[in-house]
């Protein structure tokens, strides 16, 4: 069996650990793995290379993807998919394993339809917003990176009695922000799923000031409220406090993966190869209720993941 492996989505720490797991699990089963470079673009541009167990040595603890990735609009066109399909067939690829989140699932599904070659998606995303899946590869790493940054920022917040708005990633969802807010002991988690006005935040900042708490951290999801600098201006006006903004940005996507991100990558990679061996097609692999599961990609694409409301409330309960 020939497996093609692609890292197609936004990068997430642990992708390389998953590539290693796929290549070595496949080798253990007697399968051959072809790495596709530059994501879906590489399918179109015919960028394949054989990956042996030795080729994935020393990458378990590295960020980024050794296969590189790219945004590829061409892949959304019938011509792009047709070309990708041709290339896969000329390489005699029997199965495609791709890593990513939402966009990767949809791309993989289209590819499978056009080419007839089954796909498996390994859930990898720092946004952790895939329905039916509790945790994706890279999420734990991004949470820790953001939390470590906020630990530093809090030193300044406390020293100067300042309020900081820290914007974290997460696309249009608040999973990353919520997890970061709880772990950093933030006073506010501002996320799209729980709309709050700047006025309400201002009110609570002033209340906290009255009981002697003069510094605070607002963890804001990039998808919530809008521009953090405008939000800061308004809060400054409403509260009279010294407001500062830090947009964490791309540091959340890279870096040495945490142990947990690596271990999920090992487990997911192994399962993805098992699905190929079992000819169980068009599944996405992720963690659910503490177990590695595989779900029907189409169903996952059509569902929306719910935020944990109790966890959201816990941020406020613990920020007194």
C-beta closer to a copy of itself: residue 23 or 190: 23
- If binding is defined by CB under 8 A, does position 61 make contact with a copy of itself? yes
- If binding is defined by CB under 8 A, does position 291 make contact with a copy of itself? yes
- If binding is defined by CB under 8 A, does position 171 make contact with a copy of itself? no
- If binding is defined by CB under 8 A, does position 101 make contact with a copy of itself? no
Cα distance between residue 319 and residue 208, in whole Å? 10
Cα distance between residue 164 and residue 186, in whole Å? 10
Q: Which of 85, 98, 125, 144 binds a copy of itself (CB under 8 A)?
A: 144
Cα distance between residue 77 and residue 267, in whole Å? 33
- If binding is defined by CB under 8 A, does position 64 make contact with a copy of itself? yes
- Tokens 């879906």 correspond to 40
- The distance of closest approach from Cβ of residue 134 to a copy of itself in the complex, given in angstroms and rounded to an integer, is 6
- If binding is defined by CB under 8 A, does position 74 make contact with a copy of itself? no
Interface segment toward a copy of itself; rule CB under 8 A; list 76-84, 108-116, 152-160, 199-207: 152-160
C-beta closer to a copy of itself: residue 21 or 275: 21
What is the dihedral sign for C-alpha 121, 3, 63, 226?
Answer: negative
Cα distance from N-terminal residue to C-terminal residue, the chain: 58
- The distance of closest approach from Cβ of residue 320 to a copy of itself in the complex, given in angstroms and rounded to an integer, is 5
- The distance of closest approach from Cβ of residue 45 to a copy of itself in the complex, given in angstroms and rounded to an integer, is 13
The question of whether 11 is a catalytic residue gets the answer no
Q: Which of 4, 149, 243, 284 binds a copy of itself (CB under 8 A)?
A: 149
Interface segment toward a copy of itself; rule CB under 8 A; list 43-51, 116-124, 155-163, 233-241: 155-163
Cα distance between residue 178 and residue 158, in whole Å? 22
Count of residues near a copy of itself by CB under 8 A = 79
- If binding is defined by CB under 8 A, does position 155 make contact with a copy of itself? yes
Q: Which of residues 246-285 bind a copy of itself (CB under 8 A)?
A: 246-247, 249-256, 258-260, 262-263, 266-267, 270
- If binding is defined by CB under 8 A, does position 245 make contact with a copy of itself? yes
C-beta closer to a copy of itself: residue 238 or 256: 256
- The distance of closest approach from Cβ of residue 19 to a copy of itself in the complex, given in angstroms and rounded to an integer, is 11
- If binding is defined by CB under 8 A, does position 320 make contact with a copy of itself? yes
- The distance of closest approach from Cβ of residue 110 to a copy of itself in the complex, given in angstroms and rounded to an integer, is 22
> Which residue is catalytic, options 55, 73, 94, 127?
127
- If binding is defined by CB under 8 A, does position 30 make contact with a copy of itself? no
């Amino acid at each position: 069996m020939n497996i093609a492996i692609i890292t197609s989505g936004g990068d997430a720490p642990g992708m390389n650990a998953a590539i290693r797991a796929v290549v070595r699990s496949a080798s253990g089963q007697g399968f051959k793995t072809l790495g596709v470079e530059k994501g879906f673009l590489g399918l179109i541009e015919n960028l394949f290379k054989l990956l042996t167990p030795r080729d994935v040595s020393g990458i378990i603890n590295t960020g980024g993807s050794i296969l590189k990735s790219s945004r590829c609009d061409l892949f959304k066109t019938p011509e792009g998919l047709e070309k990708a399909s041709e290339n896969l067939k000329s390489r005699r690829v029997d199965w495609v394993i791709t890593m990513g989140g939402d966009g990767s699932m949809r791309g993989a599904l289209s590819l499978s339809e056009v080419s007839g070659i089954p796909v498996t998606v390994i859930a990898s995303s720092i946004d952790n917003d895939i329905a039916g899946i509790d945790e994706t590869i890279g999420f734990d790493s991004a949470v820790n990176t953001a939390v470590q940054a906020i630990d530093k920022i809090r030193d300044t917040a406390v020293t100067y009695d300042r309020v900081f708005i820290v914007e974290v990633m997460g696309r249009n969802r608040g999973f990353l922000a919520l997890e970061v807010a709880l772990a950093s002991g933030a006073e506010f988690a501002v996320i799209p799923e729980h709309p709050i006005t700047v006025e309400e935040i201002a009110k609570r900042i002033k209340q906290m000031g009255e009981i002697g708490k003069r510094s605070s951290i607002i963890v804001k999801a990039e998808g919530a409220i809008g521009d953090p600098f405008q939000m800061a201006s308004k809060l400054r006006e409403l509260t009279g406090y010294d407001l500062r903004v830090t947009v964490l940005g791309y540091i959340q996507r890279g870096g040495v993966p945490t142990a947990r991100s690596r271990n999920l990558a090992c487990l997911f990679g192994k399962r993805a190869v098992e699905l190929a061996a079992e000819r169980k097609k068009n599944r996405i692999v992720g963690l659910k209720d503490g177990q590695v599961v595989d779900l029907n990609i189409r169903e996952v694409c059509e569902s929306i993941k719910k935020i944990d409301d109790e966890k959201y409330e816990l941020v406020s309960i613990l920020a007194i």
